[in-house]
A = this chain, B = another copy of it.
């Protein structure tokens, strides 16, 4: 999953690093070379890892990489997956090796991480405004003339700040900027097409900058119709700016697409024709790679229905957190050794899926009525349904495997995740840099 030409050295340095005892999930009592993790023969189901542990199922990752590549090819769009989801160089490498056009990021330090590990094209789907952060990105572009980085602007003030920094730290080529179209009452981005065009015209005039396209984020919407309208507005901006001859780049970038509506975005971009130069339509889904057992599962089931994808053939959940029953203090309650430090809690609590008494055999599905009802920093409260045999059988020391809702806020809890096969044999490790 690695071997990028430029960052290969940095990636292999991760394999060479000595991990010290004290890394979540690792059962080591002496330093261990990261690259040796996959040959330890650790079986999660035998209780060989430390708990809690975050695991990525390699079969699901493989499926999702292939699925998304085929989706993009079928829909004639590029993919710059949002790297902020995982911030994992090994996963960036896998995405790029599977056809991704670039990696989307949220801020300057994330760009620095991606560049260090060999990513050659990044899209900062955000305004860069702090002077030190603009300079950090300009420095990378200055030192590495083939590195490509797109940034956003949504105001004249933002354009002026970028232009000022570029004037003080000149580059050999203009900095490509996308104008962000926003949504009334939502996050950043111009609120009207007129505002967006004003910013686009300012970019066309600003020395050292060029207008490279338009960007929006439809993921803050709930309604497919509203998404389609928003994508139409983005397309209208592209046409208008092209009519006015504002684009300074050899191709026109148009980008949107979180992880819930990327089908509608791709379809919307297909309507863009008759431009003066080639169009580069780019999706940015970050969570397609792991999906989840919560908010994205729900959104992706809707997407599957829209796309006519049969149950079981869509994106698959790849990320699970396993913990141990540490206490059975009441008949209907089990306390687990994981908490807010280990699993997302911002878009629904973890979903208990499996239980297993450490040793041979396959895990058992937990009854659907089992529910994690609360988490503290380091504990989860698992409610066991009345009248179910699980109340008697679940014991201190049993393993519990949970799915999560919202991968972004679980990945950022784990400096190291373990890659496992379908039998939960540990095959390797993936780093994150948050």
Are A113 and B157 touching (Cβ within 8 A)?
A: no
Chain B residues with CB under 8 Å of A49's CB are: 132
Are B377 and A106 touching (Cβ within 8 A)?
A: yes
A330 CB, nearest partner CB in chain B, Å: 7
Are A190 and B106 touching (Cβ within 8 A)?
A: no
Q: Does A84 contact B (CB under 8 A)?
A: yes
Main SS at interface, chain A? loop
Decide yes or no: A22 and B409 within 8 Å by CB, A130-B47, A130-B51 being known contacts.
Answer: no
Q: Does A211 contact B (CB under 8 A)?
A: no
Interface size of A by CB at 8 A reads 76
Q: Does A369 contact B (CB under 8 A)?
A: no
Q: Does A352 contact B (CB under 8 A)?
A: no
- A202-210, A242-250, A321-329: which lies at the B interface? A321-329
- A72-80, A334-342, A420-428: which lies at the B interface? A334-342
A28 CB, nearest partner CB in chain B, Å: 8
Decide yes or no: A84 and B377 within 8 Å by CB, A107-B337, A337-B107, A412-B413 being known contacts.
Answer: yes
Q: Does A395 contact B (CB under 8 A)?
A: yes
The A210-247 residues at the B interface (CB cut-off 8 A) are: none
Are A330 and B191 touching (Cβ within 8 A)?
A: yes
Chain B residues with CB under 8 Å of A129's CB are: 324-326, 337, 396-397
- A133-141, A268-276, A299-307, A360-368: which lies at the B interface? A133-141
The A338-386 residues at the B interface (CB cut-off 8 A) are: 340-341, 345-346, 358, 376-379, 381
Partner of A136, one of B21, B24, B182, B379: B21
Partner of A131, one of B47, B126, B395: B47
Partner of A408, one of B48, B377, B397: B377
Nearest chain-B residue to A30 (Cβ)? B139
Partner of A329, one of B189, B330, B358: B189
How distant is the Cα of A129 from the Cα of B49 in the complex, in angstroms? 12
Chain B residues with CB under 8 Å of A161's CB are: 396-397
28 contacts between A and B (CB under 8 A): A21-B116, A22-B109, A22-B113, A28-B136, A29-B135, A29-B136, A50-B133, A51-B130, A51-B132, A84-B377, A106-B377, A107-B337, A107-B378, A126-B378, A127-B326, A127-B337, A129-B324, A131-B397, A155-B328, A155-B329, A155-B396, A161-B396, A161-B397, A188-B326, A189-B327, A341-B434, A412-B413, A413-B434
